[in-house]
Each structure stands twice: as structure tokens, then as C-alpha cells.
Structure 1
């Protein structure tokens, strides 16, 4: 069993979640149940799956949850690309977010490979 609170990737995914929530709060009101809701759920899934996997009994199970978290991170990236295309986000906000999501993806991939 791993202590997820000590994992750098979990800490970074928590920062990513805060960033996504801050940015998605600026989305148009009619996106409350659309893209805003979808991206917020996906970003919460990243950190949640890291934590859940860390509590499992084996590295194999942990790696499987990390793969789910990685999939959610790519989902967040895609949704934020769409938000940019739709004009909901752009500039420095989007640049910072894309760097953060890329960092989390790389860390997840590295941890999966290590396990």
C-alpha cells in the first residue's frame, strides 16, 4: 500500500484540479451542465484514481488505477482544447493548464512504468 498524499503526482494532480476549477468557473453559464461539468468531473477523477489505486494491495492493481487516471488526464486535455476552440479559455490560462496536464501525464506514465 502506498501513501498517496506523499506522491508527487497526486499533489500535482490536486494542483491541476484547482487550476481547472478556477478556469472552468469562467465558462459561460449555459455550459454548467456541459463542458464545465465534464472537465471538472474528469479532473477530479485523476487525483481520485491515484488515491484509490494507492490503497490497493498490489502494484498491479495500483498501476491499473494509474492508467485510469492517465486516461482521465487525457480527457481533461481534450476538453480544455475544446474549451479553447469554443473561445471559453485562452492565452496564459490555457498555456499554464496545458503544461500542468502534460506534467501530470508524464508523471503518471513514469510511475506506471516503474511499477
Structure 2
């Protein structure tokens, strides 16, 4: 049951989100290089990476488990973006599109995951 991950909208959108996370974190203070910047980047890379890596698995159960990990990474990003906003590293205008896109990605992953069960 190998999925062609490059055709999955959730993979495409999460990959684009990752690029936007890198872009916004490049403006964070240097003191955050090993803090929020690193955490946000790692979590954002995790979403498309888990989808791609696990899409080759033969087991629906295995793939479903890694989709759940991707959802966890999305919630991690949401929390870290909110903290970044609290610390005034990103504005409300920068925050809202991220939260909207994360919400959509979570919904898409959840819906796709439900088709595997």
C-alpha cells in the first residue's frame, strides 16, 4: 500500500508551511537560534518528513501512527508560534495565517488518517 506522497496535498501544504516557518524564524533574535528557532524548524520539518517516510509502509496501521505523529508536530508548532507571539518575535498579522494553515493541515491529516482505519 505504498502512497505516492508527492501527490498528497497534506505533504505539499506541510512542505510549504515548513518553508514559511524557516522564513519567519530567520527574523528571530540570534539568542533564539538554539531555542524557539530550532524547535519550530525541527517540528515543521517533521510533518512532511513523517508523511513521506511512512507513506512507503505496507501497513495502514503503521502509516496511521506516523500521521498521528505529524498531527502532534502541528500542535507543537502552534504552541511555539503562540509563545513566539507572546515574546513579540512575530506579530498578530504573521501569527494568524500560520494558525489557519496549521488548522487546515491538521484537519486534512485527520481526515486522511480516518480513511486508513
CA deviations 1:16-70 (Å, max 9, x no partner) are 1011111111111100000100010000001100111101112111101100011
CA deviations 1:58-101 (Å, max 9, x no partner) are 21111011000110011011100100011100132111111111
> Do residues 20 (structure 1) and 14 (structure 2) align?
no
- TM-score, normalising length: structure 1: 0.97
Root-mean-square deviation (Å): 0.8
Distance 1:103 1:90 in 2: 21
Structure 1: any 5+ residue segments left out of the alignment? Answer: none
Q: Report what 1:104 is aligned to.
A: 105
Q: How many residues align?
A: 115
- TM-score, normalising length: structure 2: 0.95
Q: Report what 1:91 is aligned to.
A: 92
Shift of 1:109: 0.8
Structure 2: any 5+ residue segments left out of the alignment? Answer: none
